[in-house]
Amino acid sequence: MSDQHSFETLAIHSGNTADPLTGAVVPPIYQVSTYKQDGVGGLRGGYEYSRSANPTRTALEENLAAIEGGRRGLAFASGLAAEDCLLRTLLYPGAHVVIPNDAYGGTFRLFAKVVKRWGVDFSVADTSDPAAVRAAVNDRTKVIWVETPSNPLLGITDIAAVADVARTAGARLVVDNTFASPYLQQPIALGADVVVHSLTKYMGGHSDVVGGALIAADAELGEELAYHQNAMGAVAGPFDSWLVLRGIKTLPVRMDRHSENAAKVAELLLRHPKVTQVLYPGLPEHPGHEIAAKQMRAFGGMVSFRVEGGEEAAVEVCNRAKLFTLGESLGGVESLLEHPGRMTHASVAGSALEVPADLVRLSVGIESADDLLADLTQALG
Ligand SMILES: Cc1ncc(COP(=O)(O)O)c(C=O)c1O
């Protein structure tokens, strides 16, 4: 597959070479742990053991590298497994990391409860302000971590501006691209060194798989990460890899519809008397709107809002929704909603990343927009 092809073509064809044995047009699920050798060391297709490499996972990894515009893609058992491998590759005792003041709670927990115990300290910065990131950097800073749009407050970080800060500091810029997906945003083209994904979300797209990915901009770091992926072992299984590869083929059409539906939902919420604030980068009043418009193709399917009446009122909206399923996670074809303070972001309570108690987060699916608007209207009462 040539890099010159458009995103839609790369999404469908990269890594999807016809099976040499049968001509099957999608890669088979190689549900296998080991491979017969023709004499000691005589590998037929370069495969020896499926933790090190598996053909279905290779197909996904090639696809990931192509659609993110990186040199190496690696697939893991979950988004957090990918993050863990990345951090243990880039960091060592005494190193320092800048992390955003708004990020997935599990990412913060990994830094605060696991990586910190290894003698790595971190500073929390408002990454939507490149000057604040610059101020948080010190001579031990090895990683600047950015999540844009962020979970759950939909904050926007100017990737190119923070890439400049990282370059000057001699640090690596890591961008969690889970909310946008590579169809809407290409962090490597904007200067990121590594892209992180929870494949569980838009990439899989159907709420039926847990997975993660790292995509490295340069081949040397990609090789180092691949070595650690094998050494640590939290790889994506063949069936999970196959499901994600299948999901990616429809990523562009799904993201277009997610974005259209989310824009309609945001407009409805903006006019609703019981909603005190709507957080959606597609709204002109969002503080990151201009940067989002510059670095994203569309504004995505995630919308958060605050409810008049505080925490209990927000919880009641969640409990009353019918078509929006109450549940954690996001990015599937079906709409979900949740209360971040008590659910996905309970682990950041009491920290600099604590989220407002009256916040509701929506993952707007690709159902009929009219049905979604009707459900939200009844849930708000
Ligand atoms: C932005 C973001 N990054 C990373 C993760 C972690 O991914 P996983 O749940 O696949 O481990 C999540 C999970 O919700 C997320 O929302």
> For each successive 10 residues of the chain (381 residues), what is the average pLDDT?
83 89 92 95 90 97 98 98 98 97 92 95 97 98 98 97 98 98 98 98 98 98 98 98 98 98 98 98 98 98 98 98 97 98 91 93 98 98 92
Active site residues: 51, 104, 176, 201
Would you state the structure tokens that stand for residue 22, as one six-digit string? Answer: 């049968």
* Cβ neighbours for 145, distance < 8 A, ≥ 6 positions apart: 97, 98, 99, 100, 103, 107, 174, 176
pLDDT at 259: 98
Q: Considering only CA atoms, which residue is closest to atom 16 of ligand 1? A: 104
pLDDT at 1: 53
> Could you give the CA distance from residue 298 to residue 258 in angstroms, rounded to a whole number?
10
Quick one: which atom of ligand 1 is closest to the CA of 329?
A: 14
> Could you give the CA distance from residue 7 to residue 188 in angstroms, rounded to a whole number?
14
Q: Is the Cβ atom of 176 under 6 angstroms away from ligand 1?
A: yes
Q: Is the Cβ atom of 147 under 6 angstroms away from ligand 1?
A: yes
DSSP of 295-315:
H-SS--SEEEEEETTHHHHHH
Q: Calculate how far, in angstroms, residue 256's C-alpha sits from the geometric centre of ligand 1.
A: 21
Would you state the structure tokens that stand for residue 18, as one six-digit string? Answer: 């016809």
Q: Is the Cβ atom of 338 under 6 angstroms away from ligand 1?
A: no
Q: Is the Cβ atom of 207 under 6 angstroms away from ligand 1?
A: no
Quick one: which atom of ligand 1 is closest to the CA of 210?
A: 10
SS3 282: coil
* Cβ neighbours for 137, distance < 8 A, ≥ 6 positions apart: 98, 144, 165, 169, 171
pLDDT at 86: 98
pLDDT at 3: 63
pLDDT at 2: 58
Mutate to test the pocket of ligand 1, among 148, 178, 338, 344 (most ligand atoms within 8 A of CB): 178
Q: Using CA atoms in the order 265, 267, 268, 273, what is the torsion angle rounded to 10 degrees?
A: 130
pLDDT at 352: 84
Q: Calculate how far, in angstroms, residue 379's C-alpha sits from the geometric centre of ligand 1.
A: 27
Residue pair 210/200 in contact (Cβ under 8 Å)? The answer is yes
Q: Alpha carbon of 256 to those of 84, 305, 376: distances in Å? A: 31, 22, 21
- Strands, sheet with 302-307, edge to edge from the N-terminal-most edge strand: 275-279, 302-307, 359-363, 336-338, 325-326
Quick one: which atom of ligand 1 is closest to the CA of 179?
A: 1
Residue 307, Ramachandran bin (φ over 0: left; ψ between -120 and 50: alpha; else beta) = beta
Q: Is the Cβ atom of 79 under 6 angstroms away from ligand 1?
A: yes
Residue burial 134-147, b: 16+ Cβ < 10 Å; e: rest: bebbeeebbbbbbb
